Amino acid sequence: MKAKMKPKPENAITIAVSSRVLFNMEKEQQIYEQQGMEEYIKYQVEHETEPFSPGPAFSFVKALEAVNTRLRELYPESEELFDVVLMTNNHAYVGLRLINTINHHQLFIERFCMTGGNSPIGYLKAYHTNLYLSADPVKVREALEEGIAAATMFTQEKMKEVSETQLRVAFDGDAVLFSDESERIYKAHGLDKFFEHEKAHENKPLDHGPLKGFLEVLGKLQKKFYDKGQRMDCPIRTYLVTARSAASSGTRALKTLRSWGLEIDEALFLAGAPKGPMLEKIRPHIFFDDQMFHVEGAAEMGTVACHVPYGIAQRVPKKGIKDKEISSAPK
């Protein structure tokens, strides 16, 4: 069988995932935290023929591979494909177990970055990373500060089954796709002033947020399917799921996307209602929100939800962030 060639990093859409979000490594993480590095490495080596079970990013990565299969059929020579890089601060000793796991699950991941405890940020830049997913909120913040789209993932009790043929990505609006400008007004002056501000500025596009670039690359890939007459059978679908209300503050959100030349397939304006039930219907592979309230609400109903620690809603000091970051009231 002819091996699939890996695209060059500058042509690919690079998704960097940490080993702790691609696979479930909770038990190993506990050993590391309670018994230290030496015991952790020893345990990994002793169990290196046992594959890890899937983690929260696993279905997302499988869906990226499904999109690549369709892209290769339509554009055999193109390098505009998803390229998944396994980014881990693990010691190289753990590499064998990770490779065995990737082969066991038949994942197509060739690029590994084992930093042996060092920060991955320099490597993320070298790979032209379009999205970084990690279980470590400190590293995620570092990446965001360097202008790299990034989010924190959590190991969840339950994960709903998702499509194996269509990649579905759901985004919150403010402080995710858009800047936190409007949220700042809401936090400082309340809901009425927020509505007034949005009405007065509805023709002024919002500034971009940390995940705008990722929506942009998804849109570029979608267009490749549309150009081949496959709009109705596109293997990528995008969703805006926002607590904004359509009539009073939805106009500015939609006009902002249009001013960027970006389409979103479905826009859900929930006017403050919980996002969990809607996301349960959509069944996205991944949902991005800047508030833990919404992340937890979605995760409880089985949606893989990530936290984007960006903007005014983050009340946690930068150093010593706990895995469960707590933010302010729902937006």
| Amino acid at site 116 | G
172 is catalytic: yes
* Tokens, residue 148: 């790299």
Closest CA to 21 of 130, 106, 139, 179: 139
Q: Is 245 exposed, middle or buried (0-12, 13-18, 19+ CB in 10 A)?
A: middle
Distance between CA atoms of residues 209 and 313, nearest Å? 13
Residues found in the chain: 331
Distance between CA atoms of residues 57 and 97, nearest Å? 18
Supply the DSSP symbol for 117. T
* Tokens, residue 295: 């992340």
Q: Is 38 exposed, middle or buried (0-12, 13-18, 19+ CB in 10 A)?
A: exposed
> Which one is catalytic: 83, 172, 289, 290?
172
Distance between CA atoms of residues 61 and 64, nearest Å? 5
| Helices first, then strands: H and E counts in the chain | 13, 12
Contact partners, residue 95, CB within 8 Å, separation at least 6: 112, 114
User: In Å, how far are 24, 60, 97, 104, 298 from 54, measured between CA atoms?
Assistant: 6, 11, 14, 11, 19
Classify 86 as helix, strand or coil.
Answer: strand
Contact partners, residue 68, CB within 8 Å, separation at least 6: 81, 82, 108
Phi, psi (degrees; rounded to nearest 5) at 117: 100, -10
Contact partners, residue 261, CB within 8 Å, separation at least 6: none
Q: What amino acid positions are annotated as catalytic residues?
A: 172
